[in-house]
Amino acid sequence: MNKNEEKSAAGIVIIGAGPVGATLALALAAKGIPSTLLEARPQGASHQDQRALALSYGTRVILQRLGIWQDVASEATAINTIHISQRGSFGRSLLKAEDQHQEALGYVVSYGALTRALDHALSNQPEIKTLYGAEVQHVNPDMAASYVTFIHDGATHELACELAVLADGGRTPGDIAGLQRETKEYGHDALVTKVRAEMPHDHIAYERFTSAGPMALLPNGEHDFSLVWTGEKQEIEQIMTLDDASFLNALHAHFGDRVGRFLSVGKRLSFPLRLSRLHPVVLPHFAVIGNAAQTMHPVAGQGFNVGLRDAWELSDHLARFESIYWGAPETLSGYATTRQRDTKRGLLFTDFLVNIFSNDIVGVSGLRSAGLGMLDIVKPAKRFLINKMSFGARG
């Protein structure tokens, strides 16, 4: 070790201080368990990020228990109704919060607003040591401990920890022996932006299925919608090149008249769609949570919420054990087993929706339309669906 290297010990090291990593650190702190957070970006780097996040009602409950929701609520737009329809048919279903005796089915909030609230809570929590600008070079888990090497303030550091948790969805654990990723490429891209419509949103979210792919309009702010428009890669690339007026006309032709004409559009971004799952998600003294563990199609808005449930349940699981057992294979395999059902169902559900609704197979369209109509009148089925969307496998 040279003079620019430093070795030290830690209990739990969390790689990534985004919403999932921050939630884990805060949930652990609420149980009296300290942790060290390593975040590559500077402090506050994400606070102006206007990307929309769809939070389930269950995620609101988690944030409320951590004392975060009160700082997010004023910037969150409630989803009171979800309108599900299929292009070219009369079948449709309405999911309503009042039928479930909930204040809302979910909420839309900007990534920046959520990270501001989480960062504020981190700064006021003495149990959490947060290092911004800490670039993790590699993680080496073995039977004795996990060794996390990172660069901070120009020096190389190594932490030997009882448990290292990868919560940074932008990183890949592919260089760690024993982990494999299964990936399904849909060959589709998602275009995301913010639009203003002629008619007010009235806190209604629209999920519109077309043969090219699903489209979602989520109420975001007083007048606007966040748009997620999916389709084949070539189609989305062509739509991205349209000027604003042509884009709004194309959107109206694709979506229909339910919210009137579209009046304006913000900055457009696109990204490829895939389903991926890491296996296993735990090794001795090492765990992977959130998007780093699983990535889902955005059709049902489940991915982010599954990730927050990962964080919450990992903290709950670790609190049952003394610190010397946090990294034990038996401890972590127990956590993985509890999460497997929720994660698997989320992956299967989103994949099912994409496969069943994004095609023009003869005869299937009528069945889909009838299915949506039946869902609208069979109340136990609607309650079951809302519970699973809100709380996952335990709903």
Domains in the chain, please, with CATH?
A: 5-46+114-182+276-356 (3.50.50.60), 187-273 (3.30.9.10)
For the ranges 10-19, 207-216, 304-313, 329-338, which has the lowest average pLDDT? 207-216
Is the previous residue joined to 380 through a cis bond, with omega within 30 degrees of 0? no
pLDDT (tens digit per residue) in 78-100: 999 999 887 766 567 888 998 87
Find out whether 58 and 392 touch, Cβ atoms under 8 Å.
yes
Mean pLDDT of 24-33: 97
Is the previous residue joined to 272 through a cis bond, with omega within 30 degrees of 0? no
Residue 256 phi/psi, 5° resolution? 105, -165
pLDDT (tens digit per residue) in 250-303: 999 989 888 999 999 999 999 998 888 899 999 999 999 999 998 887 765 678
* DSSP-based three-state secondary structure for 228: strand
- List CB contacts of 253: < 8 A, sequence separation 6 or more: none
Task: Specify the pTM.
Answer: 0.88
pLDDT (tens digit per residue) in 119-178: 999 999 999 999 999 999 999 999 999 999 999 999 999 999 999 999 987 766 667 888
- List CB contacts of 256: < 8 A, sequence separation 6 or more: 87, 208
* DSSP-based three-state secondary structure for 340: helix
DSSP assignment of 8-22 equals: EEEEEEEE--SHHHH
Question: CA–CA distance from 375 to each of 84, 259, 362 (Å)?
Answer: 10, 23, 22
